[in-house]
Structure 1
Amino acid sequence: MRSRYTAFATGDDDHLFRTWHPAHRPADTASDPRVEWTGLTIVRTEAGGEDDAAGTVEFEANYRGPDGPGVLRENSRFARRAGRWFYTAPAEDA
């Protein structure tokens, strides 16, 4: 989760593409250059440890965009594939 936040914050679209699960990846994974990400707080995690195949991360990401400041709140699902973690989608209970 932290590496994906950093990728959004620095505009590293290649990292975003590589860490999005291929079965769930949208056609356009480019970050919005008009958005400045200003902070990340991990609220809680479930599973996602060394021996887990999946996990969730609830987070709050602060930003400034064309319409002013805001907070993105999400409970994200991740899956391990070939030893690496991939973002799949927001969890339904976000």
Structure 2
Amino acid sequence: MNTPDTLPCPCGSGHTLQACCGRYHAGALAGQAPDAEALMRSRYSAFVLDRLDYLLASWHPDTRPASLEANEPGLRWLGLDVKRHVRLDETHATVEFVARSKLGGRAHRLHEVSRFERIDGRWYYLDGDLSSSR
């Protein structure tokens, strides 16, 4: 039987959810991702798991939406591929990734270069340039 301690992390790290992204979603390390890539991975996992509060809390206050919708019924997240993580300076970084999903028998691919900003020691998702394809 899978428990939160033994479930594989959705980000594809090969670690358990609790040892990977789950520790940033809740508990002592909540919101304390050490770098932009870890934050991006934890946000992907939060999308998979519908942890909308975490997604909003990790979104930069200048670009954060008022609310988010839960995943559409039947949406399956298929995987994450981190292409590149670049730390531009102490407070700015980018992460390029591809996230794959399937809905209603149609495959979707989201390719984004995300921008992150560190405020008071905490990383936030700012925005991203994306191209999605089916």
TM-score, normalisation: structure 1: 0.85
* Distance in 2 of aligned mates of 1:33 and 1:81: 32
Among candidates 113, 117, 125, match of residue 75 of structure 1 = 113
Identity rate, percent = 39
Q: Tell whether the 8 Å contact from 1:11 to 1:31 is kept in structure 2 after alignment.
A: yes
Gaps of 5+ in 2: 1-39
Query: Whose strand proportion is higher, 1 or 2?
Result: 1
The amino acid of 1:90's aligned partner reads G
Paired position in structure 1 for 2:20: none
2:46 maps to 1:46: no
1:56–1:91: 8 Å Cα contact kept in structure 2? no
* Bigger Cα Rg: 2
Q: Which amino acid aligns with 1:26?
A: P
My pick for the range that moved more, 7-16 or 29-38, is 29-38
Counting matched residue pairs gives 90
Q: Does 1:56 align with 2:94?
A: yes
Where 2:93 maps in the other structure, the secondary structure is strand
Higher RCO (CA < 8 A, seq sep 6+): 1
Kindly indicate whether residue 106 of structure 2 is the aligned counterpart of residue 33 of structure 1: no
**1:85: which partner in 2?**
123
- Check if 1:65 corresponds to 2:103: yes
How far does residue 91 in structure 1 lie from its aligned partner after superposition?
A: 4.0
Runs of 4+ in 1 over 4 A off after TM superposition: none
Aligned to 1:18: 57
Give the root-mean-square deviation of aligned CA atoms. Answer: 1.8
